[in-house]
């Protein structure tokens, strides 16, 4: 396998169209029915925490973070994390995830949640949300609801519904 000349950088407004095409390639039209997508719908993401990956002029990966409420606390929801299918398995998703977590940590955020594969996200420190602590506004396998505490003690006592930060 040849090495990639990968450039990971903060998202910019001019990336929007390429990110939309990337997400369509990576997830297809069924993505809009998923609970995590529905939760982000109409809820502006934090562009200052978005990260992209490019090879040459081709955008091959993107990750965004959206503000949500978990009970009474404001937290971040990681996703979507999208990697172009022809570039999967090359560490791009890992590089994007690490960069997004670091950006959130640098801004002083306390907690990141996501719906995803626990074995994959464990390498970044994500763990399953303890049963009954947080609930999504639609169907989600509880084993796939994960969190990462960025500030020690932030998750202590945190419980309730996960809802958009706006509205």
Q: What is the dihedral of CA 110, 96, 88, 7, to 10 degrees?
A: 180
The pLDDT of residue 28:
73
The pLDDT of residue 1:
43
Do residues 96 and 61 make contact, with C-beta atoms less than 8 angstroms apart?
yes
Q: Where are the domains of the chain?
A: 6-164
The pLDDT of residue 105:
97
Query: How confident is the prediction for the chain on average, in pLDDT?
Result: 89
pLDDT (tens digit, 9 = 90+) per residue, 79-92?
899 999 999 999 99
- What is this structure's pTM? 0.89
What CATH number does domain 6-164 carry, 3.40.630.30, 3.40.50.300, 3.10.310.50, 3.40.1800.10?
3.40.630.30
Cα-based distances in Å from 103 to 41, 92, 98, 126, 145: 22, 17, 9, 16, 21
DSSP string of 125-159, one letter each residue:
T-EEPPTTSEE-SS---GGGEEEEESSTTTTTT--
């Amino acid at each position: 396998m040849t090495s990639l000349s990968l450039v990971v950088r903060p998202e910019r407004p001019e990336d929007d169209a390429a990110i939309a095409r990337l997400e369509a390639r990576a997830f297809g039209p069924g993505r809009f029915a998923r609970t995590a997508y529905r939760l982000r719908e109409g809820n502006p993401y934090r562009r200052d925490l978005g990260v992209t990956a490019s090879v040459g002029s081709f955008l091959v990966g993107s990750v965004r973070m959206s503000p949500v409420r978990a009970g009474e606390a404001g937290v971040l929801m990681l996703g979507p994390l999208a990697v172009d299918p022809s570039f999967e398995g090359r560490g791009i998703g890992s590089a994007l995830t690490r960069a997004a977590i670091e950006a959130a940590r640098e801004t002083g955020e306390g907690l990141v949640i996501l719906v995803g594969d626990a074995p994959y996200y464990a390498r970044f420190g994500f763990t399953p949300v303890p049963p009954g602590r947080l609930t999504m506004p639609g169907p989600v396998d509880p084993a796939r609801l994960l969190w990462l505490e960025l500030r020690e003690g932030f998750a202590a006592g945190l419980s309730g519904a996960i809802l958009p930060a706006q509205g």
